[in-house]
A and B are shown apart, each in its own frame.
Chain A
């Protein structure tokens, strides 16, 4: 057992995947000698060489577009997008090419491509460095979208994403890169890639969250105890496809739900969960499904991000509202 940070967990997961399969190549800007701006790929180039850990030109469409070609050739590219707000030059390649290749070829071609995106706010960065664009990918048929929320998941989920024959957009909560947990690599992963995880059992309401909000929601659940509330916390882990059975089971148990995400409020993952829960669990609900989310504004200058981001108080306020019904 070693204590490992979320960032190091992904690093170890990448390393394991590269050792297991010589077809895995890692590519992106600054990922070689520097080890990425967040050091997630640190040491990989030294050990696997420049042909497998590819420092690319500074061209995002090029990163994904060439990954398409590498995948067609039998490789399993893992692309790093340096920051969430810089994925858009590659958006066409992701949604028109990566996502659709299997469909267009009527199942003959596969795109085992992983697109790693450090996402979310809270690090005091300048604009374009704190976005939560997961909905824009989750809406695209052909892509699978996941977000890791803790170091152990980070270690296993990245390997599962690389092993997936479908393309996976892999969101990493950048402000949690330094959170630590015990990792025992010899214990196989508890869950497959597209399963949600009940990270805290509770009875009174469920907080659905993923990525950076998992920690926030766990803190909120602890704080709620003071008010005599026992909250369940579900780390969704997978945004597309959603693990609906786990979501429904939890709602049927607690009868109240709050979805928490940094992504803008309208048409975000919370909207989909609320709709699904309403369709499936209508008679179990004591209250409408509520959302605590980012606002429908661009991500603000960082001096205001504490107000923009759902924090403990905003989550607790959401819980208050859902309990009032």
Chain B
């Protein structure tokens, strides 16, 4: 193998003492789990889920609806209505569990895949489509729902979140686990390699900022597997930065809720950052532009289907909470209604006008740009009435 790498001396490939333990496979590492894939409740010494079955039904509903929103968006992309879509398929529990653990004053900084968290924060799903359809770059007002714009540059938002949390700290908005405020930053396993994420860890740590870093380790960064990003389980990195890290079963909505809630409480009361690694799996493609059959095994997908985050809740509700089929049918019907509304809304999203976008470059428009805007408007107007 070494000969095939030009310019690299074969001895580089000679066995060396590994500086760290070899990459650990998923199953070897303990994580917090409160609901098994079979739908059975589990106890954990440090984390407990203390809501009732009604709440669990709520989680089931949330997860089902966002999965439906997601499949509808994927379909819209396939029909040419969206340029691209980043699916959350498989990550519903990580997002709903963590999203539902937030208080109304907490602030969220997402990547581009957090449709489930957006749902929890009350962002109209239709607004998520704008970026992917190409009519805007995020049309919701982040202040209305405490849900920042999607961020495409990998990891950049973790610093924004940290700065925001430093602001909460300076506003004396912390100090109470319930009444205080905190920030949560979402990012992927690939992002964990970015400088910004590591800088965010350092800033958060040295300033003791009220923040939770929520890494959805879906094990893939486009085609690169997790072992291209790290030699150790990601949650263990936190220790090196001086704050706690915890790995949670990212397909277990009860556990992601319990773990996030505790981490957010810690942040709100002023005890500083936590890294939560939600261990999950990206069941679909990275985005609709991507072909996962080129780089991963279909057996893996089959294996993870058995751990589906929604199925296990359904199993629990059916068997243990004795919830009847009526409930599931109602949720399905609601999902269909939402999907239909999403589709209709998407098709009627108005095409933006470039002329208007000149207005948003600066708060105080420059003379040069105003002139370009005017010239462009006049030029565009000269085509009016012409057939295209």
Q: Which of B149, B170, B199 contacts A61 (CB 8 A)?
A: B199
Question: Interface of chain A, helix or strand or loop or mixed?
Answer: mixed
Cβ-defined contact, A66 with B156, below 8 A: no
A73 with B362, Cβ < 8 A, contacts A59-B199, A104-B138, A241-B367 known: no
Question: Interface of chain B, helix or strand or loop or mixed?
Answer: helix
B206 surroundings in chain A (CB, below 8 A)? 57
A92 with B203, Cβ < 8 A, contacts A75-B170, A102-B363, A106-B360 known: no
Which of B48-56, B57-65, B160-168, B332-340 lies at the binding interface?
B160-168
In the assembled complex, how far is the CB of residue A107 from the closest CB belonging to chain B, in whole angstroms? Answer: 5
For the A-B complex, the count of residue pairs with Cβ-Cβ distances under 8 Å equals: 139
For B, the interface residue count at a CB cutoff of 8 angstroms equals 44
Cβ-defined contact, B361 with A89, below 8 A: no
Q: B353 contacts the other chain (Cβ, under 8 Å)?
A: no
Cβ-defined contact, B195 with A89, below 8 A: yes
Complex alpha-carbon distance, A69 and B139, angstroms: 19
Q: A304 contacts the other chain (Cβ, under 8 Å)?
A: no
Most buried by B among A69, A165, A241: A69
Most buried by B among A62, A96, A109, A141: A62
Q: Which of B156, B170, B359 contacts A97 (CB 8 A)?
A: B156
Q: B386 contacts the other chain (Cβ, under 8 Å)?
A: no
B149 surroundings in chain A (CB, below 8 A)? 104-105, 109
In the assembled complex, how far is the CB of residue A12 from the closest CB belonging to chain B, in whole angstroms? Answer: 24
A237 surroundings in chain B (CB, below 8 A)? none
Closest chain B residue, CB of each to CB of A59:
B199
Interface residues in A152-179 (C-beta closer than 8 Å to B): 164-166
A68 with B163, Cβ < 8 A, contacts A102-B363, A108-B142, A142-B362 known: yes
Cβ-defined contact, A109 with B359, below 8 A: no
Q: A296 contacts the other chain (Cβ, under 8 Å)?
A: no
Q: A67 contacts the other chain (Cβ, under 8 Å)?
A: yes
Q: B290 contacts the other chain (Cβ, under 8 Å)?
A: no
For A, the interface residue count at a CB cutoff of 8 angstroms equals 46
Q: B368 contacts the other chain (Cβ, under 8 Å)?
A: yes
A69 with B142, Cβ < 8 A, contacts A56-B203, A62-B200, A241-B366 known: no
A107 with B203, Cβ < 8 A, contacts A69-B164, A92-B156 known: no
In the assembled complex, how far is the CB of residue A269 from the closest CB belonging to chain B, in whole angstroms? Answer: 14
B164 surroundings in chain A (CB, below 8 A)? 69-70, 72-73
Q: B153 contacts the other chain (Cβ, under 8 Å)?
A: yes
A166 surroundings in chain B (CB, below 8 A)? 362-364
Interface residues in B326-378 (C-beta closer than 8 Å to A): 357, 359-364, 366-369
A72 with B138, Cβ < 8 A, contacts A66-B203, A89-B195 known: no
Cβ-defined contact, A105 with B159, below 8 A: no
Cβ-defined contact, A141 with B361, below 8 A: yes
Q: Which of A66, A103, A165 contacts B166 (CB 8 A)?
A: A66
Interface residues in A36-67 (C-beta closer than 8 Å to B): 51, 56-57, 59, 61-62, 64-67
Cβ-defined contact, B363 with A165, below 8 A: yes
Closest chain B residue, CB of each to CB of A60:
B199
Q: A6 contacts the other chain (Cβ, under 8 Å)?
A: no
Q: A110 contacts the other chain (Cβ, under 8 Å)?
A: yes
In the assembled complex, how far is the CB of residue B144 from the closest CB belonging to chain A, in whole angstroms? Answer: 9
Interface residues in A106-120 (C-beta closer than 8 Å to B): 106-110
Complex alpha-carbon distance, A242 and B164, angstroms: 33
In the assembled complex, how far is the CB of residue A322 from the closest CB belonging to chain B, in whole angstroms? Answer: 25
Q: Which of B137, B159, B171, B202 contacts A69 (CB 8 A)?
A: B159
Q: B115 contacts the other chain (Cβ, under 8 Å)?
A: no
Q: B113 contacts the other chain (Cβ, under 8 Å)?
A: no
Closest chain A residue, CB of each to CB of B170:
A51
Interface residues in A69-92 (C-beta closer than 8 Å to B): 69-75, 77, 89, 92
B364 surroundings in chain A (CB, below 8 A)? 164-166
Extra contacts, 8 of them, besides A66-B163, A68-B159, A69-B161 (Cβ < 8 A), are A57-B203, A61-B159, A72-B160, A73-B168, A89-B195, A93-B159, A102-B361, A141-B361
Supply 14 A–B pairs (Cβ within 8 Å), ascending by A: A56-B203, A57-B203, A61-B199, A66-B163, A68-B160, A97-B153, A103-B357, A104-B149, A105-B142, A107-B359, A109-B149, A144-B362, A165-B364, A241-B367
